[in-house]
A = this chain, B = another copy of it.
Amino acid sequence: MEPLRLGIAGLGTVGAGLVSVVQNNAALLRSRCGRDVQIVAVNARDRARDRGVDLSDYRWVDDARDLIGADDIDVVVELIGGEDGIALELVEGALKAGQHVVTANKALLAVHGTRLAQAADTTGVHVGFEAAVAGGIPIIKGLREGLAGNRITRLYGILNGTSNYIMTAMRDDGSPFDEVLAEAQRLGYAEADPALDIGGGDAAHKLAILASLAFGRPVDFDNVHVEGIQAITPMDIEFAREFGFCVKLLGIAQVSEHGVEQRVHPCMIPQTGPIAPVDGVFNAVVVEGDAVDVATFIGRGAGAGPTASAVVADIVDIARGLRLPFYNVPVSDLVSTPHAPIERRHGAYYIRLMVIDRPGVIAEVSAILRDEDISVESLLQRGRDPEEVVPLVMTTHEADEDAMLRALERFGDLDAVSETPLTIRIEDL
């Protein structure tokens, strides 16, 4: 059988990792695919840079767009990144030219997924994007194929390794957020500009992709509710532990009576749940379906090897002749079911107020909660330090999000409250 011929655009960590896996496991890939997997052309911004892999056998392409429609390239592998610009031009161009595409670009798919799926449907080519979500975890394959017999009711997970690393380190060392972030940057676990990771945007990209697959909806990134971990302190993590919880930045997508919920925010979850022990840079995804009940996937979310593993799996699929619709069903079968806004959430909450330690504060706070029909489950005021600022923490029974938002605003108006009140949603996951 003819070899499968690749053009690779982008030679960063993942691109170099891909070249290395294709070279090192060439015989294995030949045996598993029934044909050779051949790199034909490569592209990056800087030709001179040493990437630790031998590129001398491959055609160097200065402009990634020259891969589009090249008659010696069956698969365009897009590892450039970014939701627009060259990456979009390259992927869309390749799909329209009838070339298969493998991409690790979550931002691109979260924003332009439906349009790209339409292009792929038209020419009948395969788009592999296992590497776009949770690197080494074969969750796209799990959803598109392994759980294809299920009506998915909920999925959730730890989708950003940087945030998980930071919160694990805050818990273990008790160091404040800024210090842990700087250390993560030094170790290469966080980018120089960490906004997408710690702000939740990266997890939101991934959640939007997973939710569209799971629920058969056009990708709906704009309706993902996103909060990051910047306001979490080691103190909150310690209080969580006392209450029997741990704190994770989760992406949650589920079908509720109000529509499809998509949200990324810090959560307190029971220490005994399936993903509570997933620490450090690891990712995890839990899928709930009507037949399978629950399936949990845990692995590395990033890094050269795990991400290259996912890219190669997609290439192997194409080499073996797998052709799936982008979103698991044709774009024409996607249904724009309504989305449920975050204000419709109904659940328990953790609230932390920094209050001036003086008589009457608890009475004021309690009155606000009573007015909003929010019932307190537990309340802790640690330390005694008259007229100084101390934390007042509470957990609530199930309450409505909009009532909680009103309560938070009123807390913020109290004279005795000295910082923006913090709340963390408690999820029984």
Chain A positions within 8 Å of B, measured between CB atoms, are 17, 21, 24-25, 28-29, 31-32, 34, 130, 136-138, 141-142, 145-151, 216, 272, 274, 277, 289-300, 303, 305-306, 308-309, 311-313, 315-317, 320-325, 328-330, 333
CA distance A147 to B135 in the complex (A): 11
Also in contact, A320 and B324, with CB within 8 A (given A291-B17, A293-B305): yes
Please state if B298 and A149 are interface contacts (CB–CB under 8 Å). no
Q: Give Cα A373 to B297, complex, Å.
A: 42
26 CB-based A-B contacts, threshold 8 Å: A25-B150, A29-B149, A31-B216, A31-B329, A31-B330, A32-B329, A34-B325, A136-B294, A138-B142, A141-B141, A141-B146, A142-B146, A145-B313, A145-B316, A150-B309, A274-B277, A290-B305, A291-B309, A292-B300, A293-B300, A295-B297, A296-B297, A296-B298, A297-B297, A320-B322, A321-B322
The answer to whether B293 and A306 have CB atoms under 8 Å apart is: yes
In the complex the two chains form, is B295's CB within 8 Å of A147's CB? no
B25 and A149 contacting across the interface, CB-CB below 8 Å? yes
Name, among A34, A150, A305, the residue most crowded by chain B CB atoms within 10 Å (CB to CB): A150
The CA of A34 and the CA of B124, in the complex, are separated in Å by: 13
Q: Which residues of B contact A294 (CB under 8 A)?
A: 136, 299-300
Contact partner of A138 (CB less than 8 A), chosen from B147, B324, B329, is B147
Please, how many angstroms separate the alpha-carbon atoms of A325 and B319 in the complex?
13
- Closest B residue to A152 by beta carbon equals B28
How far is the CB of A5 from the nearest CB of chain B, in Å? Answer: 17
In terms of DSSP, what is the predominant structure of the interface of chain A? mixed
Which residues of chain B have C-beta atoms less than 8 A from A298's C-beta? 274, 295-298
Complex interface: chain B residues within 8 A of A31 (CB): 216, 329-330, 333
A292 touches B150 (CB 8 A): no
Contacting pair A146 B313 (CB below 8 A): yes
CA distance A330 to B145 in the complex (A): 22
6 closest Cβ pairs, A-B complex = A149-B312, A138-B146, A291-B309, A296-B298, A292-B309, A295-B299
Interchain CA distance A21-B147 in the complex, whole Å: 12
| Nearest-Cβ distance from residue A25 to partner chain B, whole angstroms | 6
Given A32-B329, A136-B293, A292-B309, 17 new contacts (CB under 8 A): A17-B291, A25-B150, A25-B291, A31-B216, A136-B291, A138-B142, A138-B146, A141-B146, A146-B313, A148-B313, A149-B315, A291-B305, A292-B305, A295-B298, A296-B296, A296-B299, A320-B322
Quick check: B149 and A309 within 8 Å, CB to CB? yes
Q: Which of B25, B145, B289, B292 contacts A151 (CB 8 A)?
A: B25
Q: Which of B21, B316, B330 contacts A291 (CB 8 A)?
A: B21
State how many angstroms separate the Cβ of A310 from the closest Cβ of chain B.
Answer: 8
How far, in whole Å, are A36 and B426 apart by their CA atoms in the complex? 42
The distance in angstroms between the C-alpha atoms of A379 and B324, with both chains bound, is 58
Task: Look across to chain B and name the residue whose beta carbon is closest to the beta carbon of A143.
Answer: B138
Complex interface: chain B residues within 8 A of A277 (CB):
272, 274, 277
Knowing A138-B142, A216-B31, A323-B321 are in contact, say whether A149-B292 is a contact too (CB < 8 A).
no
Chain B residues, Cβ within 8 Å of A333: 31
- Chain B residues whose CB sits within 8 angstroms of the CB of A17 once the complex forms: 291
Question: With a CB–CB cut-off of 8 A, which chain B residues contact A296?
Answer: 296-299
